[in-house]
């Protein structure tokens, strides 16, 4: 490469070069999957390009193509090399990154993968061949595997790489496995020597020791994995009948190499973001690795990229799972901005548009949801600033409570877990107060917290890799008939008995049961053996890849090969169908009432109700809810046809069909249209959807929204009922109105005016009571000043003021404290809010010389409790409580008088 070449290697060009090169080799260019894998509960985030093809490698899914290429959005925030707290401290770690990859599903293998890799790197991009090194698998005696001489031979004979640059490494570096069991195989990695001090062999440097040595001079560019084995449960390896290729190249890393940069952050993926942060903060990025300001720049840029990608794909910040990861990213970036960039006001949301400018062409979903991402980011930033203030208060309390000169590690770690205070900040704040932090205790608490998080985040797999092995995709018939087929013949393929922590699971060759997807819950019913040997009650249906799995309990054990009959609960299915079609009507009605910015952010479709989450910046007003209900019910009343067609995603979108953010679609999709007149105009509702639906909208019945609330920043949740559920809701509302009318002695239509009248009466009564209470307090204060006589220099005594309630005795106590510097007094009132007035609220106060002479309010409260019963307590200077026996107040006053005499006599 020449310096001129370096200037032309923009991010957009490099990304396009990669995709175009493999498209020319017969690969299908596929879009990036969402950054959170919806159909793989074992992963919080998509962390590799192969995630969206995992079902193909496991043999449970297929694609209508055998060659694919893409750039995949990935997020890594955990694992050996992905400690979140390390991102920003060097020039190559990221939470969000792109993985360029090409795949072969039983098509080409090692020769094509290797030679294409070499051609792209050296001919298309012109990387210097003498700087490239490759590694191949050296074999493994324990697995009985020889060295990958085939890959080594291809490198030496089919490319013009320096043969001495082909190195062998063991299974730790050059053997890839999906998990403890499942597909696996050797890999060959391509590394580049970036040069630098000590790189000249004449100086005694040995380049061979640099590859895979964990240094910054030699870095891995590309990994080609050859999936040719299946790891069995006993650890043995079996050759796969179909061999696959899975490659991955870090986009940020190869871009830095092509642009001649030593840091990923110096490329045009990050520099525009830095310019925006500079403008917002007044600071300057200097590209130093250790400078605190530069670390803050990298943290903020990286975390805003990750946040933007995740929220654009539908992730919502929360206190658990992937939502909590997003919240941590915002807190960490916000804290660096405040601590190192002097950003006293939220600013990360203003960085989001620049991130979208950089990445939006490659990932258009970011452009489409820009305003939503900004709103969510700003809300999270503002919430964290408040949390930070509370955390500082908690730290002050912790510092004051520390008896020695070291803050206890577990308590200090809670500042991180709860308020986002990292270890270095806690140590800094402690040093400012002359304290240290118990780092061993901190680390122990961190490990304990990590274990809890892991256990909470552990998902039960529907089927393990071993259980899935050899299972074909399930043929489905639930769309075959009008209204959806609810019964079919099938054959048992595999049965897994239940255990303490999971029900039994049954896999058939075909099924009428709909598996949970797209917000619609799975079908229930029965599966019966045609020979009568078992009856399996289906309590849920899920799928992994193309394999449908029926969960439940069985009477008799299903055996492989036995014929079966699927019997879906048709009444339940009909209720679900009605609610699912209602969500489509609701979605369109919301767009019309609130605006086209409305996008689905989640849903639940069950037989009893439906729930629909939307992106919307504020609450939905009552008038808007009424408009939405009217629009939905109008479409139901028209009894419009609900028509389903099979189309390509591209054709459907060209017709204006709504596709859900984060949803993964195949080559063909089901398109559901409502109120379609056959082409003369656009259908009222047109969505990509694989769920089950009614044939005509009139089958839905009445529709009513019963709740609307916020679930996250920029996300509103609506809950609704249809059919008999809606009727029951109307009837319950009518019953409540009738009951209120009877109690308030007014007609239903006059209830609002009657309630307003009562509210005014209550307000007036409170004013009168407050005025009277003020008069009572003033009178009691005058009496107290006359009654409390000095005893040994202390105004001491106990007063019963039954005309005062709890607030009244507190106000009287405050006035006495201001009038008498040396005071020891107990004040008794009457009643508690809502009771019959028999309770005795009391306040005990001690100040000035009363404390010096040994009197304590907490002790006085104990004397009172001994006489009145109830509870109470407090500090030496102030205590309060609630007694139970008003008739014992005189005895309490006498006991207190004796106590004062003993202490002051």
Which of the 8 DSSP states describes residue 518? T
Spatial separation of the C-alpha atoms in residues 768 and 761, rounded to whole Å: 11
Residue 468: in which H helix or E strand, if any? helix 465-468
pLDDT block averages, 10 residues each, the chain of length 905:
64 97 96 81 80 81 91 81 72 91 95 97 96 95 92 96 94 84 89 71 54 83 92 82 92 95 94 97 90 93 96 86 88 89 94 97 93 92 83 81 85 81 77 85 81 48 74 89 82 91 92 93 96 95 92 94 95 96 96 90 94 91 96 94 89 83 73 73 87 94 95 90 93 91 87 86 76 79 87 90 89 91 93 65 93 91 90 87 90 92 83
How far out from the chain centre does Cα 249 lie? 27
pLDDT value for 348: 97
Whole-model pTM: value is 0.74
Spatial separation of the C-alpha atoms in residues 662 and 366, rounded to whole Å: 11
Helices (H), 290-369: 292-312, 321-340, 352-359, 364-368
Which of the 8 DSSP states describes residue 697? G
Backbone phi and psi for residue 377, each to the nearest 5 degrees, phi listed first:
-60, -45
Radius of gyration of the chain (CA): 35
* Among candidate residues 664, 683, 662, the one with its CA nearest the CA of residue 672: 683
Tokens of 637: 């009343």
pLDDT value for 233: 73
Spatial separation of the C-alpha atoms in residues 144 and 239, rounded to whole Å: 13
Instruction: Mark residue 17 as left, alpha or beta (left: phi above 0; alpha: psi -120 to 50; beta: remaining).
Output: alpha
Tokens of 384: 């964290």
Spatial separation of the C-alpha atoms in residues 845 and 823, rounded to whole Å: 7
Whose tokens are 């006589």? That residue is: 789
Mind spelling out the 3-state secondary structure of 42-75?
CCCCCCCHHHHHHHHHHCCCCCCCCEEEEEEEEE
Spatial separation of the C-alpha atoms in residues 425 and 429, rounded to whole Å: 6
Spatial separation of the C-alpha atoms in residues 610 and 571, rounded to whole Å: 16
Angle at 464 between CA 459 and CA 465, to 5 degrees: 130
* Among candidate residues 843, 895, 145, the one with its CA nearest the CA of residue 903: 895
Q: Which neighbouring-strand residues pair with 541? A: 550
Distances (CA, A) of 65 to 24, 109, 179, 748, 884: 15, 15, 25, 65, 80
pLDDT value for 401: 82
């Amino acid at each position: 490469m020449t310096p001129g070449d370096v200037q032309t290697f923009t991010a957009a060009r490099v990304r396009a070069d990669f995709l175009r090169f493999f498209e020319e080799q017969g690969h299908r260019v596929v879009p990036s999957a969402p950054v959170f894998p919806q159909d793989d509960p074992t992963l919080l985030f998509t962390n590799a390009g192969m995630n969206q093809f995992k079902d193909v490698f496991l043999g449970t899914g297929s694609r209508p193509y055998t060659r694919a290429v893409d750039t995949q959005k990935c997020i890594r925030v955990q694992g050996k090399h992905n400690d979140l707290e390390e991102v920003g401290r060097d020039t190559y770690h990221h939470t969000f990154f792109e993985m360029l990859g090409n795949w072969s599903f039983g098509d080409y293998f090692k020769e094509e993968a290797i030679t294409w890799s070499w051609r792209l790197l050296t001919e298309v991009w012109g990387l210097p061949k003498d700087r490239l090194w490759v590694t191949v698998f050296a074999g493994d005696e324990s697995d009985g595997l020889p060295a990958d001489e085939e890959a080594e031979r291809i490198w030496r004979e089919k490319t013009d790489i320096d043969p001495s640059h082909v190195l062998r490494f063991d299974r730790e570096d050059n053997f890839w496995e999906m998990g403890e069991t499942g597909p696996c195989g050797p890999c060959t990695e391509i590394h580049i020597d970036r040069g630098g001090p000590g790189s000249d062999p004449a100086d005694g440097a040995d380049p061979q020791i640099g590859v895979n040595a964990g240094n910054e001079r030699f870095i891995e560019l590309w990994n080609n994995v050859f999936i040719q084995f299946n790891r069995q449960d006993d650890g043995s390896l079996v050759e796969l009948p179909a061999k696959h290729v899975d490659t991955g190249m870090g986009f940020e890393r190869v871009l830095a190499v092509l642009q001649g940069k030593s840091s990923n952050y110096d490329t045009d993926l990050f520099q525009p973001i830095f310019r925006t942060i500079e403008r917002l903060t007044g600071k300057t990025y200097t590209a130093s690795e250790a400078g605190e300001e530069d670390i803050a720049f990298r943290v903020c840029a990286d975390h805003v990229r990750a946040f933007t990608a995740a929220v654009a794909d539908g992730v919502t910040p929360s206190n658990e799972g992937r939502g909590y990861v997003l919240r941590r990213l915002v807190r960490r970036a916000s804290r660096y901005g405040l601590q190192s960039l002097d950003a006293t006001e939220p600013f990360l949301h203003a960085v989001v548009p620049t991130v979208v400018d950089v990445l939006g062409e490659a990932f258009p979903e970011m452009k489409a949801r820009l305003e939503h991402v900004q709103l969510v980011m700003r809300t999270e930033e503002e919430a964290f600033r408040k949390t930070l203030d509370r955390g500082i208060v908690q730290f002050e309390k912790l510092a004051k409570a520390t008896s020695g000169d070291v803050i206890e590690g577990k308590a200090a770690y809670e500042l991180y877990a709860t308020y986002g205070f990292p270890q270095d900040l806690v140590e800094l704040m402690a040093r400012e107060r002359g304290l240290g932090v118990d780092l061993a205790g901190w680390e122990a608490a961190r490990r304990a917290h990590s274990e809890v998080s892991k256990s909470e985040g552990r998902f039960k797999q529907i089927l393990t890799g071993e259980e899935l092995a050899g299972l074909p995709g399930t043929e489905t018939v639930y769309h075959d008939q009008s209204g959806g087929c609810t019964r079919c013949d099938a054959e048992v393929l595999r049965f897994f008995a239940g255990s303490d922590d999971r029900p039994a699971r049954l896999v058939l060759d075909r099924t009428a049961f709909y598996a949970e997807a797209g917000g619609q819950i799975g079908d229930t019913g029965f599966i019966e053996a045609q020979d009568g040997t078992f009856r399996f009650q289906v309590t849920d249906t899920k799928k992994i890849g193309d394999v449908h799995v029926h969960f439940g309990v069985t009477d008799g054990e299903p055996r492989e090969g036995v014929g079966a009959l699927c019997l879906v609960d048709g009444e339940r299915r009909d209720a679900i169908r009605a609610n699912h079609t209602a969500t489509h009507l609701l979605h369109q009605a919301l767009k019309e009432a609130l605006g086209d910015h409305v996008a689905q952010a989640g849903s639940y479709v069950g037989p009893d109700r439906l729930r629909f989450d939307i992106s919307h910046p504020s609450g939905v007003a009552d008038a808007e809810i009424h408009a939405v209900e009217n629009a939905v019910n109008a479409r139901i009343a028209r009894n419009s046809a609900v028509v389903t067609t099979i189309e390509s995603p591209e054709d459907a979108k060209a017709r204006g069909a709504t596709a859900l953010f984060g949803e993964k679609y195949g080559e063909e999709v089901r398109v559901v249209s409502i109120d379609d007149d056959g082409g003369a105009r656009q259908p009222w509702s047109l969505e990509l959807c694989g769920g089950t639906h009614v044939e005509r909208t009139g089958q839905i019945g009445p529709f009513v929204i019963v709740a609307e609330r916020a679930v996250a920043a920029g996300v509103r949740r609506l809950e609704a009922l249809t059919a008999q559920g809606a009727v029951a809701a109307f009837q319950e509302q009518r019953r409540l109105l009738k009951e209120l009318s009877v109690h308030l002695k007014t007609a239903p239509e006059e209830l609002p005016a009657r309630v307003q009248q009562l509210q005014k009466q209550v307000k007036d009564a409170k004013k009168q009571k407050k005025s009277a209470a003020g008069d009572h307090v003033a009178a009691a204060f005058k009496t107290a000043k006359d009654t409390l006589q000095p005893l040994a220099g202390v105004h001491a005594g106990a007063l019963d003021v039954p005309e005062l309630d709890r607030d009244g005795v507190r106000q009287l106590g405050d006035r006495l404290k201001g009038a008498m510097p040396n005071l020891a007094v107990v004040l008794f009132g009457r009643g508690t809010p809502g009771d019959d007035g028999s309770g005795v609220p009391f306040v005990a106060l001690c100040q000035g010389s009363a404390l010096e002479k040994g009197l304590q309010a907490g002790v006085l409260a104990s004397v009172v409790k001994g006489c009145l019963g109830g509870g109470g307590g407090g500090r030496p200077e102030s205590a309060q409580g609630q007694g139970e026996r008003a008739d014992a107040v005189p005895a309490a006053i006498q006991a207190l008088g004796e106590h004062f005499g003993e202490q002051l006599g």
